[in-house]
Amino acid sequence: MTGIEIFNYTDLYKEQVADLIVHIQQKEFNVPIDLEAQPDLKEISKFYQGGNGNFWVAVHNNLVIGTIALLDIGNMQGALRKMFVHAGYRGKPFKAGQLLLNELLQWARQQKFNEIFLGTTEKFIAAQRFYEKNGFTEIKKERLPGSFPVMRVDVKFYRYDLTIEHPDIHLN
């Protein structure tokens, strides 16, 4: 038991979510982006929790230590967004990223999504390996649906097919 709980986002977490994400972007990966350039973080409920989308937080000892979002982009498709985990909670023993992704995939299946797409920067090498290990396949940008919100920093793109069986993800 890791003591990590996954919750649907509420504005109670707004400040902690923004602080976590911007800190990881700027301090860990030197991505030149600030809160002002991410208006979705100012209105998370409105931006992500519409349609069949959602936004989750991973909480440990009352602190937000991870986030993940599923943006409903129509046509039974979703965009995985805002997956960030505090460095101290990545991998073993906490596996916060895996807990968050499992929650998103379970939700997506319940909402009858067929595909999930994501974009990431070249700097997030560990994240790329994580997505690949979890059944995401790299695709060319041209294969993204027209409704997918491409971020200017994204250079690698992935697709997850929910219509096929994937091996169960185990946390052991």
Amino acid at 149: P
pLDDT at 171: 43
Amino acid at 161: D
pLDDT at 33: 87
With pLDDT > 70 as the criterion, what percentage of the chain qualifies?
96
Cβ neighbors of 69 (< 8 A, separation 6 or more) are 44, 48, 53, 54, 55, 56, 80, 81, 82, 83
pLDDT at 124: 85
- Give the 3-state DSSP-derived string for 64-113, with helices as H, strands as E and coil as C: EEEEEEEEEEECCEEEEEEEEECHHHCCCCCCHHHHHHHHHHHHHHHCCC
All domains of the chain, ordered by start, with CATH?
5-161 (3.40.630.30)
Q: Which residues of the chain have pLDDT under 50?
A: 170-172
- Percentages helix, strand, coil for the chain (3-state, rounded to 5) are 35, 25, 40
pLDDT at 172: 39
- Could you give the 3-state DSSP secondary structure of residue 146? coil
pLDDT at 1: 54
- What does pTM read for this prediction? 0.93
Parallel, antiparallel, or unpaired: how do β-strands 5-8 and 54-60 relate?
Answer: antiparallel
